[in-house]
Amino acid sequence: QKTTFHRSQTLGFKNGYAFSRLPREGIGGDTLFANQLSQDELDDLCTKGATLTYGQGKRSAPSCFTPAFVAYDKKVLKFDAYFQEEVPLSAEERYRIRQVGLYYYLEDDSMCIIEPKVKNSGLLQGKLMRRHRVPKNEQGDYYHWKDLNLGINLTMYGRTYRLVNCDSFTKVFLESQGIVVNPPEELVSDPYTEQRRTPVQKPTVPTGPDPFRQFLTYDTKVLRFYAIWDDTNCAFGDHHPCIIHYFLADDTVEVREVHKRNDGRDPFPVLMRRQRLPKILVDKNKNFPSCVLEITDHEVQEWYSPKDFGIGKTLTLLGRTFRIYDCDKFTQDFYREKYGITDFQPVDVNKKPLEKVPQVIPPYNGFGIPEDSLQNCLSLFPKPPRKDIIKMLENNLKVLRYQVALESPVPEDKNRRFILSYFLSDDTIGIYEPPVRNSGIPGGKYLKRTKVTKPGSIPENPIYYEPSDFTIGSTIEVFGHRFIITDADEYVLNYLERNAKSFPAATVQSIRDHFLPRKVVVETASSGIPKKDLNDLIVEVQKELKLQEPFSPRKFHEAFHHFDKEGSGFLDKATFLNICDRFNVPTSTILLKKV
């Protein structure tokens, strides 16, 4: 029924030193008897013999203590190692192998890494890591010589080192400490360094023409070809005349563009600089950036040579297509002597004239004048038709006026009279209707000033009315309305007589015949009879007529016009007397005879 099992304290400190003492109590507080031996101790005493000791017993000498910095002073473990370093910005090497020496100092467990310096290596070599204790992990542990062995990878500060070999002292020390040393490995060399150490083999020049001999033979000798660069496949492309120079000294080609005055192109003299042009390229990887690198002999299977040029041949030089159509005399002699070619007939490269497509004029739509509407078909931005300025200045304010009657089946239009004005400055026609009171028809402008075409003319070739078409009694058709000329202004007669050579004789004679009665009346009224006697006679006739029965002057005038069927303004004596008898005018008086 024991419940406590405490053990008494046997460790104590005195003056800062620890010492052990015998327990005073047993486990659980049991009483311990002094000098009480156990059965095992009693058995040992029975078997032991008594020994005699004279004087004080001698103690053995303590072992010699040697500190670590003394025991391992100048003792270093040396390992041969290497690490791999990436080279991202180089086309000749992707990685680099760097050989280093790893030193472990036993006196303080520190390490350092040293790389042997190589002359002209371009690298920062020497001590890559200073001597210090290298942390092993994030828990605060450090690398110890027990962690080192051959054939293992050692990672320090993000860089992995491969331990491949060690010296004899290191091997003996590790084996003395009970560590099994792995067999050594071969130290890996840098491939780029080994490549540089190998002797460079001189390229074997194939048997062929000597470049220097070719330069001395063909210096200043150039083949000249005349070609056409066809650029019509591109936007705004054209045929560009060019000159191709082939330099026999070094097999280079130069292309120059021929410029003309006012050709609209920038005057760049050289289209392709002098260079060797590849004819057939070697198949290569599509990812190789050849567009930004120079082309070498390893990438070209065949270059352009003089045998590739000739009259009538088509060449593709750097993506441009050229057709050779002629060459100079030196080039002809060169090909005749070297290749035996005798046909040097030039190729005709002149452009064939394009067939002119006839322009189809759409029919006239009736808006405006045909000349003005035609401008919309001739240009994108129509301009007003040109006017004859000389004619406008010479005939300014010259107008021919005619009296016309409307030919219409409507009874109300029979008595309508119009004034047709022909403007000589621009051959336009305007029609005006004088207003008549109580006629029911408002007068005013009937047709604004415009050109009028003759009936039967086509819109493509319109024929307009001219002054020669206006004769007394002729019919004028104006936009579907027919008008008959019944009278004209005296200015018309004077103008036609002044310019009789410019108008037909029938037109001038028609106007003259119309004005002849009026002319005769004027001449008769002014021939030999004094004006005072004529006025007195008119007064006497008016008084005599007033004495007659109710006399209607209007009916009397209508009778005169009725019997004057031709409108000449003349009546014979018999007709005149007959009219007087109808209106009961005495014909036997002396006054009538005077009239």
Asked if residue 242 has pLDDT above 90, the reply is yes
Alpha-carbon dihedral 573, 575, 580, 582, rounded to 10 degrees: 160
Asked if residue 144 has pLDDT above 90, the reply is yes
Give burial (CB, 10 Å; 0-12/13-18/19+) of 492: buried
Residue 102 β-bridge partners: 79, 113
The per-residue pLDDT for 64 is 76
The per-residue pLDDT for 84 is 94
The per-residue pLDDT for 560 is 81
Top mean pLDDT of 50-59, 453-462, 469-478, 524-533 is at: 469-478
Asked if residue 430 has pLDDT above 90, the reply is yes
The per-residue pLDDT for 521 is 62
Closest CA to 77 of 187, 188, 176, 189: 176
The per-residue pLDDT for 556 is 77
Closest CA to 333 of 256, 209, 222: 222
Query: In sequence order, which residues have a C-beta less than 8 Å from that of residue 549 and are 6 or more positions away?
Result: 584
Top mean pLDDT of 194-198, 276-280, 551-555 is at: 276-280
Closest CA to 152 of 198, 126, 191, 184: 184
Query: In sequence order, which residues have a C-beta less than 8 Å from that of residue 159 and are 6 or more positions away?
Result: 83
Do 79 and 111 meet the contact criterion of CB atoms below 8 Å apart? no
- pLDDT > 90 in the chain, percent: 42
Separation between Cα atoms, residue 362 and residue 526, nearest integer Å: 62
The per-residue pLDDT for 208 is 59
The per-residue pLDDT for 522 is 62
Q: Which domains does the chain have, with CATH numbers?
A: 1-47 (no CATH), 68-194 (2.30.29.170), 214-339 (2.30.29.170), 397-525 (2.30.29.170), 531-583 (no CATH)
The DSSP-derived string for 153-199 is EEEETTEEEEEEEE-HHHHHHHHHTT--PPPP-PPPPPHHHHHHHSP
The DSSP-derived string for 241-286 is EEEEEEETTTTEEEEEE---TT-SS---SEEEEEE--EEEEPP--T
| Per-residue pLDDT reduced to its tens digit, 186-241 | 999 999 888 888 887 776 655 556 788 888 889 999 999 999 998 888 888 888 99
Q: Tell me phi and psi for residue 332, to 5 degrees.
A: -65, -45
The per-residue pLDDT for 384 is 87
| Per-residue pLDDT reduced to its tens digit, 1-60 | 788 888 888 888 888 888 888 787 888 878 777 666 677 777 777 777 656 556 565 666
For 364-383, what is the mean pLDDT? 83
Indicate the pLDDT class of residue 62, thresholds 50, 70 and 90.
Answer: confident
Strands 76-86 and 95-105: antiparallel
Closest CA to 251 of 315, 304, 329, 298: 304
The per-residue pLDDT for 546 is 73
Query: In sequence order, which residues have a C-beta less than 8 Å from that of residue 150 and are 6 or more positions away?
Result: 79, 163, 164, 165, 166, 181, 182, 183, 184, 185
- pLDDT > 70 in the chain, percent: 90
Residue 11 β-bridge partners: 20
Share in percent of the chain as helix, strand, coil (round to 5): 25, 25, 50
The DSSP-derived string for 304-370 is --GGG--TT-EEEETTEEEEEEEE-HHHHHHHHHHT-----PPPP-PPPPPPPPPPPPPPP-SSS-H
Asked if residue 531 has pLDDT above 80, the reply is no
Separation between Cα atoms, residue 190 and residue 476, nearest integer Å: 113
| Per-residue pLDDT reduced to its tens digit, 322-350 | 999 999 999 999 999 999 998 899 998 88
Asked if residue 424 has pLDDT above 70, the reply is yes
Give burial (CB, 10 Å; 0-12/13-18/19+) of 65: exposed
| Per-residue pLDDT reduced to its tens digit, 483-520 | 999 999 999 999 999 999 999 999 999 998 888 877 66
CA 492 and chain centroid, separation? 67
The per-residue pLDDT for 207 is 59
Query: In sequence order, which residues have a C-beta less than 8 Å from that of residue 207 and are 6 or more positions away?
Result: none
Choice among 227-236, 286-295, 557-566 with the minimum mean pLDDT: 286-295
Specify the DSSP class assigned to residue 403: E
Closest CA to 251 of 206, 299, 338, 309: 309
Q: Tell me phi and psi for residue 118, to 5 degrees.
A: -115, 130
SS3 at position 450:
strand
What integer best gives the mean pLDDT of the chain? 85
Indicate the pLDDT class of residue 401, thresholds 50, 70 and 90.
Answer: very high
Separation between Cα atoms, residue 32 and residue 38, nearest integer Å: 12
Question: pTM for this one?
Answer: 0.39
